[in-house]
Amino acid sequence: MTASTAPPQTPPLQFTLPDLLAKFPWPRNLSEYYCEAKAESSAWTESFHPFDEEGLKGFNLCDFNLLASLAYSPREKEIIRLGCDLMNLFYVFDEYTDIADGEGATKIRDIVMDAFRNPHKPRPEGELLLGEMSRDFWIRASNYVSPDAHCLPHFIHDFDTYTEAVAREADDRAKRVYRGFEDYLSIRLDSSGCLPSFALCEFGLDLPEEAYHHPRMAALRIQGTYLIAIGNDIDSYAMEKARGLELHNSVALVMVEQNLDVQEAINWLERYAAGVHADFLDNVANMPSWGEDVDRRVKMYIDGIAQWVRGNDDWTFESGRYFGSKGLEIQKTRLMTLLPASTGFVKKSA
């Protein structure tokens, strides 16, 4: 067949990404400690040799240190560094569990949680690197606050539910399970990693339990997670579909559940997120008072959650995680196309 008689090629599917935070009142803010914390945390992460040379390039392209420096930006240098380490730990855990089934992910989860719960116990010879990586992080994080600080059990609880949800996600992926949107969102609340990320915002603030567990505060954590998760699902859909991970993405699930195309599903999620956004601002505006000193610390915590919502969106376009070198251009045009099939940064034999 000659070129002149060849059938026309179908153009790649293009869709528009909404700006879910166009009216979100917290602006972009990058920590002054970004470069310093990035250098330290990158060296720390690479010391565990989690990736081969190709994987390391992909890891550096994502720049999770930038995410932490945007998300924890109002805080002191120590929290920025711990935030960088936590984001890099999340990433390594996600990459290793992304290629595992439910049983394999559960084994990895058990290693990580044992390291958190027993940080002074030496890790077994030949164990997966995530055990020592988690142990080292948690010793430094827990030393930053008093031994009886409430933030410590809060973090352990939230990281436990996170790893459990990731294992469930891996099992769903292996079995090709399609969940309904609401069922999926309840899992995403934990599998997103937002709650343990928010838990680090509490470090050094010494919040009273009454304030931490207040219904409006608990709702803020859920709503902040949903805003991040839905935005992340929309922005990462093309990459996740290319890697065969779209079963744990609300765009794909809404498409199936409601028989919509990609753009229609994204538009539906945009409307859903607008309701969450309104509820988030309502809870911030109507948070009760616990006295001047506690209210000051509560405000820092709330600003931490809100900055996480904003910072995650900024990082999505400023890093190379989802859009390569085109992030800032896509942030302006909001136009995205589906990508060719690809793999992650950890090989199956790792």
- Nearest in space to 224 (alpha carbons), one of 254, 193, 249: 193
The pLDDT confidence band at residue 243, using thresholds 50, 70 and 90, is: confident
Packing angle between helix 181-191 and helix 215-242, nearest 10 degrees? 100
Tens of pLDDT, residues 39-65: 999 999 999 999 998 888 888 999 999
Domain ranges in the chain? 33-331
Which pLDDT value is given to residue 350?
39
User: Average pLDDT in the 255-278 region?
Assistant: 96
Contact yes or no for 230/272 (Cβ under 8 A): yes
Per-residue pLDDT, 349: 43
Task: Report the CATH fold assignment for 33-331.
Answer: Farnesyl Diphosphate Synthase (1.10.600)
In the numeric block, the tokens 């994502």 are attached to 62
CA–CA distance, 134 with 121 (Å, rounded to integer):
12
Residue pLDDT, tens place only, 146-169 = 999 999 999 999 999 999 988 888
- Which pLDDT score is estimated for 342? 60
Crossing angle for the helix pair 262-285 and 250-258, to the nearest 10 degrees: 120
The chain-wide mean pLDDT, for the chain, equals 91
pLDDT exceeds 70 at position 346: no
pLDDT tens digits for range 310-326: 999 999 999 988 898 99
In this predicted structure, the answer to whether residue 189 has a pLDDT above a threshold of 60 is: yes
12 band by pLDDT with thresholds 50, 70 and 90:
low
- pLDDT value at position 81? 98
- Cβ-contact 312, 67 below 8 angstroms: yes
pLDDT at 347 over 50: no
User: Mind giving me the DSSP string for 229-270?
Assistant: HHHHHHHHHHHHHHTT-GGG-HHHHHHHHHT--HHHHHHHHH
